[in-house]
Amino acid sequence: MIAIEETTKDVETAVADLTAAVTAKGYSVLHAYDLRATLQSKGIDFTQACHILEVCNPQRAAAVLGHDMRISLALPCRVCVYEDKGKTVIGTIKPAELIGVFSDEESLREIAKQVEMDILGMVHDAV
């Protein structure tokens, strides 16, 4: 259900390359969070880099939400770039598997499969 790839890039470069890959695939980054900075601003001594990008294709989001608003609980798709044991990784939850939590409808599964292929392609391009 989780897809994770390692990269030799530093976190900031991987985030920049992922952002470019998102745009190249016709998606948008709705929000980007620097989790380390956020936690540190709250007085937490968190030292690992962790960036969370909320990624969306508006047409596909509207299509699935038009069938079942509960799917909004899983949107937008999140792609994370973070440090793990001295390495930079990029990871996401696979939409095609996640959609099954909400529906068995084949049309929704097809949309989720396409979104998953796109996101995994973005991750691959950023690695």
Q: How far is CA 60 from CA 67, 103, 109, 123, 125, in A?
A: 11, 16, 12, 19, 21
pLDDT tens over the chain, length 127 residues: 999 999 999 999 999 999 999 999 999 999 999 999 999 999 999 999 999 999 999 999 999 999 999 999 999 999 999 999 999 999 999 999 999 999 889 999 999 999 999 999 999 999 9
DSSP 3-state percent helix, strand, coil across the chain (nearest 5):
50, 30, 20
Residue 103 is part of which domain span? 2-126
Domain of 108, CATH number, reads 3.30.310.70
What pLDDT, on the 0 to 100 scale, is given for residue 16? 98
Burial of 24: CB neighbours in 10 Å, binned 0-12, 13-18, 19+: exposed
Q: Looking at the 3D structure of the chain, how many domains does it have?
A: 1
Q: How many CB atoms lie within 10 A of CB 68?
A: 13
| Amino acid (1-letter code) at residue 118 | D
Note every long-range contact of 115-119, with CB atoms under 8 Å and residues 24 or more positions apart, other chains counting: 115/57, 115/60, 115/77, 118/25, 118/27, 118/57, 119/55, 119/77, 119/79, 119/92, 119/95
What pLDDT shows up at residue 7?
97
